[in-house]
Amino acid sequence: MSKQNAIQLSGVSKTFDGFKALADANFTARWGEVHALLGENGAGKSSLMNIVAGLYGPEGGSLFIDDNPVKLKGPKEAAKLGIGMVHQHFKLVTPFTVAENILLNLGHIQTSGLYRERLRRVTDDIRAMAARIGFDIDPDARIGQLSIAEQQRVEILKVLLAGAKILILDEPTAVLTEDEAERLLTTVQGFAREGAAVILVTHKMNDVLRYADQVTIMRAGRTVKTLKPDAVSVDELIRLTVGESPAGQDASPGGRVPGEPFLRVQGLRSTGGRRALNGLDLTLNRGEIYGIAGVGGNGQSELANALMGIPEAVSGRMEIVGEGDLADFDAARRRALGIAAIPADRYGAALAGPLSIADNFALGDIHSGRYGPFWYLNTRAIEADAAEAVRQFDVQGVRSLKQKAALLSGGNAQKLVIAREFSHPPQLVLAHSPSRGLDVKATEAVRERLRAARDNGAAVLLISEDLDEVMAMADRIGVMSAGRIVAEFSQPADRQAIGQAMVNHV
C-alpha cells in the first residue's frame, strides 16, 4: 500500500432520537497495523465503526478511505472499497447453511455461473480458509444448529472470504477459547503485516497489549486518547476507559461450605441430529457458583437451552430437588420457583427487541397478575417498577421507558435482562456467558449480582468459555467436553490441571 492511512474519521457526529451517540469523534487507522478501540458500552465505538461500514451516515465530520474522501451510501459500497465488519451480534440467516450465508454475502463478487456452481466454489473456499485459520466448520451445517461460538466463526469467515482489506472486528474473541482466540488474533495480525488494516473493538486488555499496534479510547461519544499499548499498563488502560479502577475483584474463591443439592442433572443426552450432549451428570448446590469450563461447541449451549426452557431435543432428567423435572415446568412455574435465566444471546433469547424497555421488564411478571389481568395491564405500575430497575441496575442509554429494547447497547441490554431476572430474589440462576462483550465496569456489575445471589443462598450455574471468568467466580469447576462433565475441581483450583482436562478430552 502506498498510502499510510486506511481510515480517517474527523469531527464525526451522530444523533439517535435526540441522543448524541457521537460528538466530534476522531479516529485514524493505518495500513499494516492492528488498531484497538476501547470504551464502555455506549461509548460510541460501534456507532463509529458502523459509519465506516456504511450502515450509518454521519451528520457531521468527514470520512477518508485510503486518504480519499468518501460518502458511503450503504454497506455494499463499503464492501466494494474492501471494508468488512464482523458484528458482535450476528447477522446470519439461521435456516440457511454456512455456505449459503457466505454466498449471500458475496453477491457483489460471485456473479457468474449457475447457483450450484457458485455454491460449490464457495464451499471449497470455506474449507480452505477454515483450514488456514484452524476453524472446524462444516459448510453444509445450518446456522440454527450451530453454537454461538461456531456462528461467530462463520461471521469471521464471511468477512475474510469477501476479500476485505480493512477488517473491523467487534469483540471477535468474546466466544472463543484462549487457543482459538490466539489463532484468530495471530491470523489477523498477519493480515495487517501483509498490508491490511485491522480494527479490533475489544474489552480484553491482554488482547490489546499483545496484538495491537495502536489503541484509541472512547468515552461518551468522544475520542479520549490514542497511544501505543506497550507504553501503558492494563491498570492505566482501565482508568482511561472507565475513568476509575474497577471494583476489587475476588481472587479465586475457596473454602466455602455449600448448602443442600438444589439441581440434579442425570444422563442428559441429545436426541436430535447433532449429539451435543452425551450422558451429562451434574449436581448444583445452594449457596455456590458452579462454573462450567470447556472448549466451545462441546454442548454448553445445548445444556443452557435445556435448562432454560429454550427448545432443545434431549432425554434424561433435570430435577429440582423436591419439585420435579425442569422439562415439565412452564414459564409460570419456573418464575414461581425463583429460576432466573441469562442466555448467551441476549437479543435473540432474552429480550423482545421491538418491545419497549418497560414491556421487556414486565414480561417476567405478567403471568403472576402483579400488573392486573393481561387484557388490562396497569401500565403506570409497570413503568414505575421499570424505572426503579433501570436506576438500581444502572441501565444507561434509556431516554424513555417506551424506547425499544433493541436500541440498547450490549452491556445495557444485559443489565436490563438481569434487572428483570433478579426483580425477585432468585433461588436458581442459570447464566450462560453473562459478561460476553461487556466492558470492565459492566462485567464487574454482572459478577457482583451473581455473587450476591450465591451469598443469599441461591444455586448459581455459570457457563462460560472465558476460563479467567470461571476461575475468578466459581466455587466448584466442571470441565465439559464431548457433551459431558469429564472432570471437577474445588477451589482453589490449579489452572494448568483444568487446561489439561480440557485438552485431554477434546
pLDDT digits (tens, 9 = 90+) for 434-452: 887 677 777 888 899 999 9
Query: 5-242 adopts what CATH topology?
Result: Rossmann fold (3.40.50)
How do the domains of the chain map onto residue ranges? 5-242, 258-338+426-506, 350-423
CB 203 within 8 A of CB 414: no
The b/e string for 469-496 (b: 16+ C-beta within 10 A; e otherwise) is bbbebbbbbbbbbbbbbbbebebebebe
Predicted local confidence at residue 493, as pLDDT: 85
> In which order are the strands placed within the sheet that holds 324-325?
278-285, 261-270, 314-320, 324-325
Residue 335 makes CB contacts below 8 A (sequence gap 6+) with 364, 365, 367, 368, 424
The structure's pTM equals 0.58
Fold agreement between 5-242 and 258-338+426-506: yes
Residue pointed to by grid coordinates 421491538: 354
Predicted local confidence at residue 249, as pLDDT: 41
Question: Which of 309, 317, 356 shows the shortest CA–CA distance to 334?
Answer: 309
CB 290 within 8 A of CB 431: no
Domain 258-338+426-506 = CATH 3.40.50.300:
yes
Going residue by residue through the chain (506 aa), what tens digit of pLDDT does each one get?
445 899 999 999 998 766 688 999 999 999 999 999 987 666 888 899 999 999 999 999 999 999 999 999 898 899 889 999 988 778 899 999 999 999 988 865 655 678 888 899 999 999 998 887 777 889 999 998 887 778 888 988 888 888 889 999 987 876 666 777 788 888 889 889 989 999 998 867 778 888 999 999 998 889 999 999 988 887 788 778 766 534 444 444 556 677 899 999 999 999 875 678 989 999 999 999 999 988 677 889 899 999 998 888 899 999 999 999 999 998 889 988 999 999 988 888 889 889 999 999 988 788 777 888 877 888 889 899 999 989 988 888 888 999 999 888 877 888 899 999 998 899 999 999 888 767 777 788 889 999 999 999 999 999 997 788 898 899 999 999 878 999 999 988 887 788 767 755 44
Predicted local confidence at residue 392, as pLDDT: 86
Which letter does DSSP use for residue 422 in this model? T
Cα 411 to Cα 43: distance, rounded to the nearest angstrom: 11
